[in-house]
């Protein structure tokens, strides 16, 4: 018996012999999973049907990866996935990075309330970043009494225990942790795609950009141990995964706080050596921590995708300072130059905030200037959203909505024009495409992604899903190509 099997046996022993639940994680959760499973089976015998769950993700890729873990736990408990909110358990994994993310959650909750009136046994659960805000919890306590389970970002691994509590205690369960230094490994996960997966390499954020709420709701930066990451990726590859997306709020600072520090570039070198893994992506790269070592590893890699998401936020050095981004316009431009010269086929994408407090017309022009110089493949543009508790929320000179909106429209137009030109540059080439799905609008077409993350549609068959095929790029439509497979 090898060490891993021994560990597994040990866990199973604990489940079957446990009188009370053990304090160790994740062993404790395996016990609650079993306890919940019995209750679910009982309910299934009563109703004569399987119980279902539905999870809606409102936030970023990290939020989405959390949802896969939550789905993994619910699946182990015995729930089946449902297509929509007409389910026995509905879980909203929320986001609070901008106010519109919050508003969407409140809007949808109204709809859930009406569904629950038809099915009083329905369970409604909320988790994710919004739940780490006190004002939100207060509002839910007062005005959303039909919500059964509420938890935050630090204790998603506890879902089985919280569900058990709810099912046996009847009144609602609210469990929010302010902070945590633990990382619970080895939770089950149900992946959305069999052939690709997100992999957390770190949690939290220490950067405190002055507009951003993430450090407050995700806690301090914690890196996972490289061996745990490598082991997870090897297991994913053994299970059919060929592409991984390494996730962290600032992957470029990965490993700095480990007992034995290692760099992100070194982690990438080790991941590259995993046999069977074909593509490596990562996000997000904070410009202040981009190293020459990383650029070299990317340039020399056969697996790291030709795409870097490189958030600018603003092109004005003055505003960048107030945003606490810790790089200047000139430094940012110099980095993109170096990236492009070392990795000529690299596609650059970015995030930009418009209407940050005190933003002048000159500041905004600086942003446009960077956009014109870098020529991004695409850019996510956001209207500044005031987040209570962040330094920017109390800054004077909040920008009037109309001014911000007008700048936003100008920026968007610029970004789109450039992107249509940049994205078409590979017309005529034959490039590898990872086939992801049948095209949503035309079932004779397949949809996949180039290494640089641009979508390609081409005639094919569903058997190609999850494989990499060579496709000739015939036409560019700005954000995607139409092509034809050169393999028969
Ligand atoms: N860690 C990543 C960003 C995560 S949040 C990074 O540092 O790049 C994703 C994006 O949301 C940010 O890049 C930023 O452009 C945007 N964002 C964050 N807070 C915002 C706010 N208060 N208003 C508008 N956009 C915001
Ligand atoms: Fe927010 Fe800045 Fe952290 Fe990104 S690096 S999550 S923008 S505080
Ligand atoms: Fe939103 Fe939380 Fe991600 S606030 S962007 S879901 S880290």
- Predicted local confidence at residue 3, as pLDDT: 47
Q: What residue ranges line ligand 3, CB within 6 angstroms?
A: 59-60, 62-63, 95-97, 128-129, 214, 217-218
* pLDDT value for 16: 38
Q: Are 437 and 447 in contact (CB under 8 A)?
A: yes
Residue nearest to atom 13 of ligand 1 (CA): 351
Q: Which atom of ligand 1 is least distant from the CA of 285?
A: 8
Q: Choose the residue to mutate in 95, 219, 247, 250 for probing ligand 2, maximizing ligand atoms within 8 Å of C-beta.
A: 250
Whether residue 314 has its Cβ less than 6 Å from ligand 1: no
Q: Which atom of ligand 1 is nearest to the CA of 213?
A: 19
From 56, 63, 99, mutation site for ligand 3 pocket: most ligand atoms within 8 A of C-beta: 63
pLDDT score for 478: 81
Ligand 1: residue whose CA is nearest its atom 4? 249
Q: How far is the CA of 155 from the centre of ligand 3 (A)?
A: 15
The rounded Å distance from CA 131 to ligand 3 centre is 11
Measured by CA distance, the residue closest to atom 5 of ligand 3 is: 60
pLDDT at position 306, please? Answer: 97
Which atom of ligand 1 is least distant from the CA of 351? Answer: 15
| Residue in 249, 387, 393 to alter for ligand 2 test, most ligand atoms within 8 A of Cβ | 249
**Does ligand 1 have an atom closer than 6 angstroms to the CB of 288?**
no
The pair phi, psi for residue 284, each rounded to 5°, is -115, 150
| CA-proximal residue: ligand 2, atom 4 (nearest) | 249
Segments of the chain scoring below 50 in pLDDT: 1-18
Ligand 2 atom 1, closest CA:
212
> Closest Cα to atom 1, ligand 1: which residue?
249
Distance 353 CA to ligand 1 centre (A): 8
Ligand 1 contacts CB of residue 249 (under 6 A): yes
Q: What is the pLDDT of residue 488?
A: 60
Distance between Cα 157 and ligand 1 center (Å): 26
CA 188 / ligand 3 centre spacing (Å):
22
Mean pLDDT rounded to a whole number for the chain: 94
Closest ligand, as measured to the CA of 313: 1
Cα 352 to averaged position of ligand 1 atoms, centre (Å): 8
């Amino acid at each position: 018996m090898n060490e891993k099997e021994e560990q597994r046996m040990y866990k199973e022993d604990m489940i079957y012999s446990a009188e009370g639940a053990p304090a160790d994680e994740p062993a404790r959760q395996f016990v609650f999973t079993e306890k919940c499973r019995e209750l679910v089976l009982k309910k299934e015998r009563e109703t004569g049907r399987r119980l279902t769950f539905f999870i809606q993700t409102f936030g970023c890729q990290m939020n989405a990866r959390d949802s896969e873990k939550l789905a993994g736990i619910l699946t182990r408990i015995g729930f089946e996935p449902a297509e929509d909110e007409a389910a026995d358990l509905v879980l909203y994994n929320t986001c609070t990075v901008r106010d519109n993310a919050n508003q969407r959650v409140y809007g949808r909750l109204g709809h859930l309330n009406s569904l629950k009136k038809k099915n009083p046994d329905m369970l409604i659960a909320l988790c994710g970043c919004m739940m780490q805000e006190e004002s939100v919890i207060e509002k839910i306590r007062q005005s959303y009494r039909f919500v059964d389970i509420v938890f935050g970002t630090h204790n998603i691994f506890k879902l089985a225990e919280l569900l058990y509590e709810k099912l046996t205690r009847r009144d609602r369960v609210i469990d929010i942790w302010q902070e945590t230094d633990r990382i619970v490994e080895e939770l089950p996960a149900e992946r959305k795609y069999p052939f690709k997966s997100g992999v957390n390499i770190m949690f939290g954020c220490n950067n405190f950009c002055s507009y951003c709420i993430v450090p407050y709701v995700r806690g301090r930066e914690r890196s996972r141990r490289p061996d745990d990451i490598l082991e997870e990726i090897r297991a994913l590859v053994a299970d059919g995964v060929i592409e991984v997306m390494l996730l962290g709020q600032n992957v470029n600072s990965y490993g700095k706080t480990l007992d034995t520090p290692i760099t992100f570039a070194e982690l990438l070198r080790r991941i590259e050596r995993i046999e069977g893994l074909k593509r490596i992506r990562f996000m997000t790269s904070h410009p202040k921590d981009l190293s020459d070592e990383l650029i070299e590893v990317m340039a020399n890699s056969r697996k790291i995708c030709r795409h870097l998401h490189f958030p600018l936020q603003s092109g004005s050095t003055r505003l960048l300072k107030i945003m606490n981004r810790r790089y200047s316009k000139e430094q940012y431009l110099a980095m993109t130059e170096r990236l492009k010269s070392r990795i000529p086929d690299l596609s650059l994408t970015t995030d930009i905030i418009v209407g940050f407090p005190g933003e002048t017309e000159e500041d905004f022009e600086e942003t446009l200037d960077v956009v014109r110089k870098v020529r991004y493949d695409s850019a996510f543009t956001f209207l500044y959203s005031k987040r209570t508790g962040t330094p920017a929320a109390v800054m004077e000179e909040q920008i009037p909505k109309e001014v911000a909106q007008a700048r936003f429209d100008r920026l968007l137009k610029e970004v789109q024009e450039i992107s249509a030109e940049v994205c078409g540059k590979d017309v005529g080439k034959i490039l590898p495409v990872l086939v992801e799905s049948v095209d949503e609008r035309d079932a004779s077409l397949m949809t996949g992604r180039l290494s640089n993350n641009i979508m390609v549609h081409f005639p094919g068959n569903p058997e190609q899903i999850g494989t990499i095929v060579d496709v000739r790029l015939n036409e560019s439509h700005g954000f995607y190509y139409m092509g034809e497979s050169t393999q028969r």
